[in-house]
Structure 1
Amino acid sequence: MESDLKTGENDNDGELLLDVAAEWLLRLEAAPGDMNVRAGLQAWIDADPAHADAYARISRMWSVAGHMSERDVRYSSRRRPVVFVATAALAACLLLAIFPTVELYLKSDYLTGTGEVRNVTLADGSVVTLDAGSGIDVRFDDGLRQIELLQGQAFFDIVEMPNRPFSVDAGGVRATVTGTKFSVRTGAEDVTVALASGGVEVMRIGAAVAPVRLAPGERAIVARSGGIEKSKATIAEIAAWRRGRLIIRNETLANVVERLNSYHPGVIVISDPALGSTRVTGNFDLAHPAEALDAVVRAGKGSVIRLTPYLLVVGGR
């Protein structure tokens, strides 16, 4: 096939390979029934295993973008197509993210943005520290102090009132105290409650599961589809994000990426679900979320592709 696309003779540079792979993908999207395009693409892929790998990576990025059509990403052989694939992917990710963000904004009494940590003093004198990308709804009356953690995580320093228990609901889980210091995090996979001082009772709302009582230095992890697992947690680990650190112990990569997304000024996505289930451990600086992502992904035997400074794609090596 006669083509203005490079054939692989001098394109061993990784970034250039991604450019060429993106050009082939966009050409195929523009003419999916053109057998000459398909034959040319196959010949390019067969010419070198590195070509096949580059095309697979670009295809995964394209999937992240929701399989946008060529009319959404205009093709020109004079342009750098990776940039346009990246733009399409970023637009799709932001579109998917905007609706839960709007809902969170409408429901929250207090809300934090990307990279923002905020202290909130409640009407009873209790102090809530909100992590980045977190939101709470506050409901106080004469006999009850109740918080709903709508997203993210928070650390609670509660004024003791024996006749007015303080409870935090998050993802179908309730933590109840009278006065104590503890953290709650709600994520896609689980809800975690960790106790720094005092006492807290953790229960699954509306479920026939016995509540778990924590002592200082313990945490309860409540899986979305399982029971309550209790384990040790050092005081240094509990809400380490208040000191600008992300301390993780045997957590899934997907869970860690979810937390780093609250600090990254853009979107981080995982293109390989199997990689997302990899368990990792480490101590990272939240002031540099992209570098922290690189380190944790390397620990999970993966790699990070920077499509733009704002869109990072995590995939296999």
Structure 2
Amino acid sequence: MGRDGSDQEMTTATYTHEDPVVDAALDWFTRLRAGTPDDATLRAFRAWRDGDPRHAREFRALEELWGAPTFAKAATLAGARPAAPARPSRAPWRRRLAFAASLALVLAAIWRSPDAVVAWRADYLTATGERERVTLPDGSTMILNTASAVALDFAKGERAITLLAGEAFFDVRHDADHPFTVTGRFGEVRVEGTAFSVEMKDDRDEIVLERGAVAVRCVGASGQAAALHPGEAVSVTATALSPVRRAAPEHDLAWRNGRIRFDERPLGAVVEDLRRYHKGPIFVLNDAAEGTVVSGNYRLDDIAGALRTLAAATGAEVIELPAGVVILR
């Protein structure tokens, strides 16, 4: 999406999703339902859809959402009524533009809500502070970190997982005939048998390889790819891959055992990680403490205790308020 039309009715629908694949799926979905597409449009859509498995998955997810009863109610209230496959329409072009605008706004609003999307699409999800170990249909093992969610596709020989939120670790059973893929917001990891993690951050996906080998690809326009070897990591943004770098899996993946480990990191960066496991907000109001370099190894089920220890080491004061609010000043 993300296009500005010259008509006022269309400018109200202008919206750009941070994930370029979702953005394109939203755009195609709206265009195909705003009127009767011509043959050239249908050919262009099919070329886009068939050009990448994730394109087809995101578009299929929108089609399923379009038919869900809860979405039908929301779309009707917004003026975009879900219906059977579109028949030839004689509606004036302005009416079709208004339909596209209302449909785009409803879809964008739902797609921007993590709770709505995750709850609807996820096969497995964890709450803040929780972890879950899952044996997958092929015998592989998946561990979900805090506030994480995934959707699975193991039908017809597929071994495909979409990370919807948070972070997950995969210990993949070897099967050369059926590659195992994990798709995040910006990157896709493809393996036959190995152990690695994928973490979805606001502006990038982080992939850390513990053992084996994986191929990582940017799902954006660049299509850049990289191969990882044990102990390596890479970041993937909407447009590019970072240089492959050395990682510390014993630290990066300590969460699997309920720990968080870090060496020589600024307190502010550590607190950013701790927030993922704490149900209330954490504020750092002490600039000197925030920049102080710290090291530690703490339990993830006692974030408040970790903060008290870190505050003492950096000269900050801890204030604990109701509803899990913690202030370091």
Which ranges of structure 2 fall in alignment gaps of 5 or more residues? 1-112
Residue of structure 1 in register with 2:141 after alignment: 127
1:304 shift after superposition: 4.7
Greater helix percent: which structure? 2
Residue of structure 2 in register with 1:153 after alignment: 167
Quickly say closer, same or farther: Cα 1:210–1:224, change in 2 above 3 A: closer
Residue of structure 2 in register with 1:115 after alignment: 129
1:271 shift after superposition: 6.7
Quickly say closer, same or farther: Cα 1:135–1:242, change in 2 above 3 A: same
Residue of structure 1 in register with 2:212 after alignment: 198
State the TM-score, normalized to the length of structure 1: 0.58
Letter in 1 for 2:230: P
Distance 1:127 1:257 in 2: 29
Instruction: Check whether the contact 1:170–1:191 (CA below 8 A) recurs between aligned residues.
Output: yes
Letter in 1 for 2:156: D
Which residues of 2 match residues 177-192 of structure 1 at below 5 A?
A: 177-192=191-206
Residue of structure 2 in register with 1:230 after alignment: 244
Distance 1:295 1:168 in 2: 37
1:111 shift after superposition: 0.8
State the TM-score, normalized to the length of structure 2: 0.56
Letter in 2 for 1:288: D
Quickly say closer, same or farther: Cα 1:151–1:303, change in 2 above 3 A: farther
Match of 2:232 among 218, 228, 237: 218
Is 1:175 matched up with 2:198? no
Q: Which whole-Å deviations, capped at 9, do the CAs of 1:247-268 have from their partners, x for residues lacking one?
A: 2357676664454234223333
Quickly say closer, same or farther: Cα 1:189–1:181, change in 2 above 3 A: same
Identical residues among aligned pairs (%): 35
Residue of structure 1 in register with 2:320 after alignment: 306
Q: 1:260 aligns to what SS in structure 2?
A: helix
- Root mean square deviation of aligned Cα: 3.2
Distance 1:250 1:184 in 2: 23
Q: Which whole-Å deviations, capped at 9, do the CAs of 1:104-156 have from their partners, x for residues lacking one?
A: 22221101123221111111111101112111111223353111111111110
Flag the structure with larger Rg.
1
Q: 1:242 aligns to what SS in structure 2?
A: helix
Instruction: Check whether the contact 1:195–1:238 (CA below 8 A) recurs between aligned residues.
Output: no
Letter in 1 for 2:169: F
Residue of structure 1 in register with 2:279 after alignment: 265
Greater strand percent: which structure? 1
Which ranges of structure 1 fall in alignment gaps of 5 or more residues? 1-98
